């Protein structure tokens, strides 16, 4: 199955033959094989890299997996790797992995020698539907996600949903959370498709169509607002509280996946949508029940609420010292730049616990 999305600056290609499209890109751009470099992580090196013959002998930097490694020290090591191999401004960095690899690799490439080209080959569902489009690169600073970064488009994105067969259920659901978000901000039709998709006994061919649609939803928003001045903020639905929870737990060394935190954020912010816009209560409970039945429960205390709130005050989306939310007036009707009180935020976190 071959599908493409032509963005303003690059192609997103959905196909199983990654080697063919890599070779095609290199030949069309006059890039020699000895001028490409690979960034991946140790898990992907073991499970996915052997499926891409062209990359077998490419100089590679293998990082340790996990958000905790998406930092300036790892970026420095990759810069040094490129410098040692005499990468020049005509070099290409291929980022093979999940969102951590594509975020960090994109940041490294966009800053090395003031910018070299990079190709993203996302190997997780989260990276395919989220990190594959949008031009955001970044690394974490202290305990804050993506505090250092650039807006820089890849030269090419190659997506093979069969790579997802190597994912465990938790990792798959982490990406599924972003697909849920895309559906909820788009409309009832997309929501119906997503909630009817079975995450057990996955049909990977049908999944490719759903992933393409999810990518199209994000791209159609991003192309109208590439630097997040207005419309692009709708993509933050579920992410304000979600990022706060993710940051808190990761700072303690507790394991939580991005999509698991976003799932909690979606439930909490759906509740806030009911407070602000009287979002139909039946929809509130239907959506919340659907999400919480698929994602593991996370335990938080009242003291955690206060720490989450303090983290929200540091969110890079804030304006004039106020925490900014994207909420839903209805499914398919997101509203940006909404403020909520501390009490309302705590109520929303309490609401989540009805479903534990």
Is 239 catalytic? The answer is yes
The answer to whether the Cα torsion of 36, 104, 110, 229 is positive or negative is: positive
Q: How far is CA 187 from CA 82, 124, 193, 220, in A?
A: 44, 25, 10, 14
Q: Which of 181, 212, 239, 276 is catalytic?
A: 239
Q: Which of 21, 243, 276, 283 is catalytic?
A: 243
Q: Which of 43, 160, 236, 274 is catalytic?
A: 236
Q: Which of 138, 142, 46 is nearest to 100 (CA)?
A: 138
Is 260 catalytic? The answer is no
Is 258 catalytic? The answer is yes
Separation between Cα atoms, residue 140 and residue 148, nearest integer Å: 6
Separation between Cα atoms, residue 326 and residue 234, nearest integer Å: 6
Is 255 catalytic? The answer is no
DSSP state of 181: H
Separation between Cα atoms, residue 273 and residue 330, nearest integer Å: 8
Q: How far is CA 113 from CA 29, 110, 116, 119, in A?
A: 19, 8, 7, 17
Q: Which of 70, 120, 160, 178 is catalytic?
A: 178
Q: Which of 181, 218, 233, 283 is catalytic?
A: 218
With 0-12 CB in 10 A as exposed, 13-18 as middle and 19+ as buried, what is 235? buried
Is 232 catalytic? The answer is yes
Separation between Cα atoms, residue 327 and residue 266, nearest integer Å: 9
Q: Which of 84, 86, 114, 356 is catalytic?
A: 114
Is 329 catalytic? The answer is no
Q: Which of 117, 136, 212, 283 is catalytic?
A: 136
Residue with the two structure tokens 């954020």: 265
Is 205 catalytic? The answer is no
Q: Which of 117, 182, 212, 232 is catalytic?
A: 232
Is 243 catalytic? The answer is yes
Q: Which of 21, 70, 182, 258 is catalytic?
A: 258
The set of catalytic residues is 114, 136, 178, 218, 228, 232, 236, 239, 243, 258
């Amino acid at each position: 199955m071959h599908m493409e999305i032509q963005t303003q600056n690059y192609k997103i290609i959905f196909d199983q033959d990654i080697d063919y499209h890599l070779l095609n890109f290199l030949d069309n751009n006059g890039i020699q094989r000895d001028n490409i470099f690979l960034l991946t992580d140790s898990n992907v090196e073991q499970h996915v890299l052997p499926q891409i013959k062209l990359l077998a002998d490419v100089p590679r930097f293998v990082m340790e997996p996990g958000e905790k490694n998406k930092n300036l020290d790892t970026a420095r090591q990759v810069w040094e790797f490129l410098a040692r191999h005499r990468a020049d401004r005509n070099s290409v960095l291929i980022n093979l992995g999940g969102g951590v690899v594509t975020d960090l690799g994109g940041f490294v490439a966009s800053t090395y020698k003031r910018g070299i080209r990079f190709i993203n080959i996302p190997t997780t569902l989260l990276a395919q539907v989220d990190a594959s489009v949008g031009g955001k690169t970044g690394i974490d600073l202290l305990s804050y996600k993506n505090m250092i970064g650039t807006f820089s488009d890849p030269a090419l994105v190659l997506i093979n949903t069969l790579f997802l067969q190597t994912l465990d259920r938790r990792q798959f659901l982490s990406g599924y959370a972003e697909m849920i978000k895309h559906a909820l901000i788009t409309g009832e039709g997309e929501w119906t498709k997503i909630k009817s998709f079975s995450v057990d006994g996955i049909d990977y061919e049908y999944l490719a169509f759903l992933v393409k649609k999810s990518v199209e939803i994000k791209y159609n928003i991003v192309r109208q607002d590439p630097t997040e001045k207005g419309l692009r903020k709708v993509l933050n639905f579920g992410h304000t509280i979600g990022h706060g929870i993710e940051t808190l737990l990761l700072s303690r060394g507790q394991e939580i996946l991005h999509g698991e935190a976003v799932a909690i954020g979606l439930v909490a912010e759906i509740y806030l949508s009911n407070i602000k816009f009287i979002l139909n209560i039946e929809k509130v409970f239907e959506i919340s029940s659907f999400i919480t039945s698929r994602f593991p429960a996370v335990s938080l205390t009242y003291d955690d609420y206060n720490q989450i709130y303090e983290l929200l005050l540091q969110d890079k989306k804030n304006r004039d010292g106020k925490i900014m939310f994207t909420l839903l007036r209805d499914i398919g009707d997101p509203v940006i730049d909404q403020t909520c009180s501390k009490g309302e935020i705590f109520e929303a976190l309490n609401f989540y616990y009805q479903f534990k």
